[in-house]
Amino acid sequence: MQVIKKTIEGLLEIVPTVYKDERGSFLESYNQQLFEANNLPTHFVQDNQSFSIKGVVRGLHFQRSPHAQGKLVRVISGRVLDIAVDIRPDSPTFGQYEAVELDSKRNNMFYIPEGFAHGFAALEDSIFSYKCTNLYHKASEGGIIWNDPELNIDWQVSNPIVSEKDVLLPTFKTYFSTILP
């Protein structure tokens, strides 16, 4: 397993070792000892899975403290552009984002700690899986609109398919103007 630190502190890409032969392939998607050795969380309390057709954009979602979630995300089938936006007000990278392409051929994963808004765009029909460090808590959920002009995220999809709920999310500036002085 290779762990790659991304530009924004706390974000990590994990590339597992894939063993292939004439029968197919094998990989470890989670190994407590390897995760501990790389300072990754080892306690996950909820697993989620979604299917998205090509062109779907989901996000940008997060949960507020004390129910904030760290997420270990990966693609089981297909390919997505995964996005993490730093929403930690005291962070030097507050308001910046990191994009990682996840696909079922590389089997790479992306660890997104608490304090980030998360979303993804399905670049192909995709099955997306994520492990969470905290349970879903509806009253703590928040979000930022996917096409925020200040964040200026290139989702790499034309004619995105976005849920009614996600279209109504506030901009980054609007959301943070209500909670920051």
The mean pLDDT value for 18-32 works out to: 93
Q: 155 is written with which tokens?
A: 């989702």
Q: What is the pTM of this model?
A: 0.93
Mean pLDDT (whole number) for 151-160: 96
Domains defined for the chain, CATH in brackets: 2-177 (2.60.120.10)
Asked whether 116 and 63 are in contact (CB, 8 A), the reply is no
Residues with catalytic function: 61, 130
Give the mean model confidence (pLDDT) for residues 149-176: 96
- pLDDT band at residue 5, thresholds of 50, 70 and 90? very high
Residue 76, pLDDT above cutoff 80: yes
Task: Determine the pLDDT at residue 177.
Answer: 86
Q: What is the DSSP letter of 29?
A: S
pLDDT band at residue 148, thresholds of 50, 70 and 90?
Answer: very high
Q: For residue 180, what pLDDT is reported?
A: 55
Q: Does residue 178 have a pLDDT over 80?
A: no
The per-residue pLDDT for 111 is: 97
pLDDT value at 181 more than 60:
no
pLDDT-based confidence at 122, cuts 50/70/90?
A: very high
Q: Alpha carbon 108 to chain centroid distance?
A: 12
Query: Whole-angstrom distance between the N-terminal and C-terminal Cα of the chain?
Result: 43
Contact between 87 and 117 (Cβ < 8 Å): yes
Tens digits of per-residue pLDDT, 131-147? 999 999 999 999 999 99
Measured between alpha carbons, how far is 49 from 131 in angstroms, rounded to an integer?
9
Across 68-90, average pLDDT: 97
> 58 pLDDT band (50/70/90 cuts)?
very high
- Segment 157-168 shows an average pLDDT of 96
Question: Can you tell me the distance from the alpha carbon of 115 to that of 101, in angstroms, rounded to the nearest whole number?
Answer: 21
Mean pLDDT of the chain: 95
The one-letter amino acid at 98: E
